[in-house]
Structure 1
Amino acid sequence: MGLIKRLWRGEVDLARTFWVFGFTVGVLFRGAGLLLAVLAEKNIGFAAVLLSFGVFLIVYQVFISVAVWRSADRYQGYRGWAFLAKAMVVLGVVQLIAGLVGI
């Protein structure tokens, strides 16, 4: 639980927050979501699991967006990296909203 609190507060370094929890974990979760979607097409029982997982993905996206943003605020290195991390957060949120409204 300590890591989750540190991530939320932006206390984990930017590179780790962005690349490990934002990028790598995000890709793995999305891959799992695609697998569940394929299984839900073949078995209606997976539809509830897919819906629950979709809600989890939204919550995770919001959580990690806040974590990356706050970590970028604390970043002490080259400010360009912090700017790019925040730009990716904005793009990720736009993508999430577009996906929710069906654009």
Structure 2
Amino acid sequence: MTRLRAFWRGDLPLDEAFWTWTVLVGLAINLSAIIALLILLSLDRPWEALIAGYAFTVPYNIMAVIGTWRSAKRYQGPRVHADLARGASVILMTVLSLV
């Protein structure tokens, strides 16, 4: 839980914030939610599917963008890396939120 809190605050290195928390964890959470959504839809439970599909993913996706953005702000390397991480996190999390 402390790593998640550090991610939210932007205290993690940019590479960990982006690759671990935004890409890997974000994809795992979103893929799990899509699977749950499809299973619930096949069981004709649309309201539960809606909740399973968006109740955890959208808040996490917002947190991933904010955590990456904050880590990018503190990044000491080339500015282009920070800007690319910001842009990629916004695009990735937006697409995953809409799927």
TM normalised by structure 1 equals 0.79
Q: Percent identity?
A: 26
Report if aligned partners of 2:18, 2:85 keep a CA contact under 8 Å in 1.
yes
Corresponding residue for 1:21? 21
- Normalised to the residue count of structure 2, the TM-score between the two structures is 0.82
Instruction: Tell me how large the CA RMSD over aligned residues is.
Output: 2.4
Gaps of 5+ in 2: none
Deviates most, 67-76 or 1-10: 1-10
Extract unaligned runs of 5+ from structure 1. Answer: none
CA contact (8 A) 2:11 2:71 kept: yes
Aligned residues: 99
Distance 2:35 2:95 in 1: 20
Q: Classify the secondary structure of the residue corresponding to 1:36.
A: helix
Mapped pair 1:95 → 2:95: yes
Q: Is the 8 A contact 2:37 2:52 kept in 1?
A: no
